[in-house]
Structure formats: structure tokens, C-alpha cells
Amino acid sequence: MPTIGENLRFWSDYDWKLEGNEWTVGYGGTAAAWRYAILPRIQRFVPCEHILELAPGHGVWTRCLRPFAARMTLVDLTPRCIDHCRGVFGEQGMTYLVNDGRTLSGVEDQSVDFVFSWHSLVHAEHDVMRSYVQEAMRVLRPGAFGLIHHTNYGEFAVEREDRPALPNDHWRGVDMTAAKFRNDCVAHGLQCVYQELVPWGSVEPVDCFSLVRRPRPGEPLRPTVADENPFFWQHIRLGVALDCRYREVPIPIPEN
Ligand SMILES: C[S@@+](CC[C@H](N)C(=O)[O-])C[C@H]1O[C@@H](n2cnc3c(N)ncnc32)[C@H](O)[C@@H]1O
């Protein structure tokens, strides 16, 4: 069960020499991950004034997001990660916060246009995610969105009559599920607009991308559309294959 303390220890001692690029090999590299996994899911919401990235690590996605925001706030549990990001991204338009692993204190109410997290909060348990849902509701401007990658492994952590428990090969939060995320959104008044449940080293939908929105005053909460996407990885591979096809087209260069 990955606690906040275990996350802090693990990421403080982690060998960051590949700076987060080690987790994009399965996509075909970081450029492919950005282009075919992340950008299609966030392009309706950026560019914008202020992006808050939660748990950026060494900033592999910060680098991609930076051109899409006038300013960014980076919040991470691990001081080493925030120090590294400060060294890379500098002070201009940037705010850096080391947090307690569950709150966004230091971020003003209703000041954020887009909250983003990818590859990180999959290691968080339900108590942490519930707190971040509440905090996202507080810091987002009315009408603003967020995309949060978290786990749904809790659905598969225990054996059921019809299937065995799945091994926790990717150090997922064991009690976190997509259903808990959307219930927490309702409890805190945040709209969970859409949930895309995707496989992660499995056939089963072990992870989830939740798209949230802070409603404008008076707007009612609507039911979440939750959808399994078993083709998540295939879609990325098709994009990469298309790139390769055109990269290899011989281009005749006329001789003078
Ligand atoms: C697997 S790394 C991913 C970093 C980055 N998103 C990437 O893809 O390279 C996990 C990051 O999440 C941070 N983290 C883990 N649990 C956290 C929590 N509860 N709150 C804030 N940051 C957390 C760690 O400090 C680390 O920087």
C-alpha cells in the first residue's frame, strides 16, 4: 500500500537519470506519449493562463505543457523534484511548492485554469485522492477543467468469485477506484465530466483518466460518463506507425 511516507522516501531516493522518460518507452517515447496520449485529451483546455501540475517529478510533462500557459504552478511531495524543476524551468512565470502529499496549500482559491497530473497519482491511495479532489474544487476557477491520471486498481486488488486478484506490478494505490473518485467529486461539488478507464500492463482497466470541471455558480452536477477504452495503447501505436510510414517515404531531391 503506497503511503505518502513511502512515496516520499521512494522518490527522494529514486535514480532520476532518465528524468521520467523511462515511463514513456511503452508509448514509443516521450514525444509519442505527449502527441498521442496526452495532447488529444487536453487540447480543448489549453492554452490557458495558469496550469497547475500536480506531482511533476523531474518535469517531463512540464516541458511539454510550458508553452501552453502564461504561468505554471508545480506541486510535488518530494523536495528533490521541486528543486530540480526550479533549476530547469527558472522563476519566470513559475511557482514551486513542496506539499504534504494531500493539499494544495499555497495555491489561491479559484486561481487555476487547468489542473494536470499524469503518471504520478496512480501511486496514491483513496484518502490522498479524496483530498486532492477537494483541493481541485477549491483552486479551480469556476468553469475550469482538470485531467487527473489515477488508479482503478482497487477494483482488481482482491479476489472475486469470477476472477483472481491482479498482481500489483506497478505499485498502484490498492484502495483507489474510479467509482470512489467520482463519488468524491459529487461530495465536494466538483463535476467529474468523464472517466476513461484504460489497461495498464493488463487487459483489465487498471487505470483511469478523470476529466473534472468546477461548475459555475448555480450549475447542477451531472452524472459522470464513465467509459472503458481497451484500445488506449493501440491508438498510440497507430499514431506512431503513421509517423514512421511518412518518415520513411523517400523524398526525391531534384538535381540542379
Ligand atoms: C512516477 S513519478 C512521475 C513524475 C512525472 N509525472 C513523470 O511522468 O515523470 C511520481 C511523482 O509523484 C510524486 N508524488 C507521489 N505521491 C504524491 C502525492 N501524494 N502528492 C504529490 N506528489 C506526489 C513523487 O514525488 C514523484 O515526483
Q: How many helices (H) and strands (E) does the chain have?
A: 8, 8
Q: Please tell me whether residue 151 adopts helix, strand or coil conformation.
A: strand
Check pocket membership of 101 for ligand 1, CB cut-off 6 A: yes
Looking at ligand 1, which residue's alpha carbon is closest to its atom 15?
7
What pLDDT was estimated at residue 47?
A: 98
Q: What digits encode the pLDDT tens for the residues 139-148?
A: 999 999 999 9
91 CA to centre of ligand 1 in angstroms: 21
Average pLDDT along the chain, 256 residues, taken 10 residues at a time: 96 98 97 98 98 98 98 98 98 98 98 98 98 98 98 96 93 97 98 98 96 97 97 97 90 84
117 CA to centre of ligand 1 in angstroms: 9
Looking at ligand 1, which residue's alpha carbon is closest to its atom 7?
20
Strand order in the sheet with 207-213: 94-98, 69-76, 48-54, 112-117, 140-151, 207-213, 191-198, 225-228
What's the rounded Cα separation, in Å, for the pair 155 and 168? 12
Check pocket membership of 52 for ligand 1, CB cut-off 6 A: no
Which residue from 8, 11, 89 has its CB within 8 A of the most atoms of ligand 1, so it is best to mutate? 11
Looking at ligand 1, which residue's alpha carbon is closest to its atom 10?
120
Q: Which residues pair with 115 in a beta bridge?
A: 52, 146
125 CA to centre of ligand 1 in angstroms: 13
Side chain identity at residue 4, one-letter code? I
Q: Give the chain's domains with CATH numbers.
A: 4-247 (3.40.50.150)
Looking at ligand 1, which residue's alpha carbon is closest to its atom 6?
56
8 CA to centre of ligand 1 in angstroms: 9
Return the ligand 1 atom nearest residue 53 CA.
6
E strands in 2-68: 48-54
77 CA to centre of ligand 1 in angstroms: 7
